[in-house]
Amino acid sequence: MRAVIPVLATSAVLAMLVIGAVPTRLAAAPPAWVAKGPPEWVVAGPHARDDRQDVQTVMTTSAEDTLPCEPIEQSTEEVLLGVVLTWDSAFLCADAPDEGSYEFTVTVANSAESAQAVSIDALALTHTTPRPRGQAPDASGEATGLPLTMAPGETAGFTVSGTYELVATDEGKKANLHFRASGHGVSSGEPFQVGINAHVRAPGVPLD
């Protein structure tokens, strides 16, 4: 009996250890739909979402505030010996507020019968009218898409944009912007110029 007791005691201790053991739980990986962190706007700060909305609003408003101008007249002229161009020479910018920005696109065609290719190199706003009481309208203008080269038979365009401020006249508020586009013959190098006018009119004010 003395030899059996230690074995029984040892077995009892082992049984207690096995029965009393607490299983260890392994943390399961979070499902794929669970976000790994807080939303971007929380990390960036409570006003980050509003800031992005403000930037989008400003960009949209700026685009909507630009006054579109439509071509109302074309001119055709032999600008160099044997070179005939046709271009949008007059634009109407209707329903204009007292001041703001404008934009229009000038289309130029080099006749298929022209003797050489031409390049439109630059655009300048030369002056503004009318001048009631000696005060001309304030305006600015610049072109994008220049220089522009056209072989005989080709048609292309460039964009003019800027700002304006109307002046009060007896007929209503208006501004006329007078531009000069300059270029040269690609083969001859001879220079030429063509005129472009934009007529900005307040609501209800007709073209002259």
- The answer on pLDDT for 139 being more than 50 is yes
- The pLDDT score that the predictor gives to residue 16 is 42
- The pLDDT score that the predictor gives to residue 64 is 58
* Beta-carbon contacts of residue 175 (< 8 Å; ≥ 6 apart): 96, 128, 137, 139, 164, 165, 166, 167, 199, 200
**pLDDT band, residue 39 (cuts 50/70/90):** low
On whether residue 110 sits in a domain, the answer given is yes
Range of the domain at 167: 67-201
Which of the residue ranges 48-57, 81-90, 98-107 would you say has the lowest mean pLDDT? 48-57
On whether residue 31 sits in a domain, the answer given is no
Write the DSSP string, 51-108.
HHHHHHHHHHHHHHHEEE-EEEEEEEEEEETTEEEEEEEEEEE-S--SEEEEEEEEEE
Mean pLDDT, residues 93-111: 98
On whether residue 181 sits in a domain, the answer given is yes
On whether residue 39 sits in a domain, the answer given is no
- The answer on pLDDT for 25 being more than 70 is no
- The answer on pLDDT for 77 being more than 60 is yes
- The pLDDT score that the predictor gives to residue 40 is 53
Give the rounded percent of residues in the chain with a pLDDT score beyond 90: 66
Closest by CA to 79, choosing from 116, 54, 53, 38, is: 116
- The answer on pLDDT for 61 being more than 60 is no
| pLDDT tens digit sequence for 26-37 | 444 555 544 455
Residue 129 tokens, joined:
């009218």
> Based on the structure, what is the number of domains in the chain?
1
- The answer on pLDDT for 119 being more than 90 is yes
- The answer on pLDDT for 71 being more than 70 is yes
On whether residue 105 sits in a domain, the answer given is yes
Mean pLDDT, residues 132-154: 96
On whether residue 163 sits in a domain, the answer given is yes
Q: Distance between alpha carbon 77 and the CA centroid of its chain, in Å?
A: 33
On whether residue 27 sits in a domain, the answer given is no
Residue type, 105: T
| pTM exceeds 0.75 | no
- The answer on pLDDT for 162 being more than 60 is yes
On whether residue 157 sits in a domain, the answer given is yes
Mean pLDDT of the chain: 81
Q: Provide the CATH number for the domain around residue 181.
A: 2.60.40.10
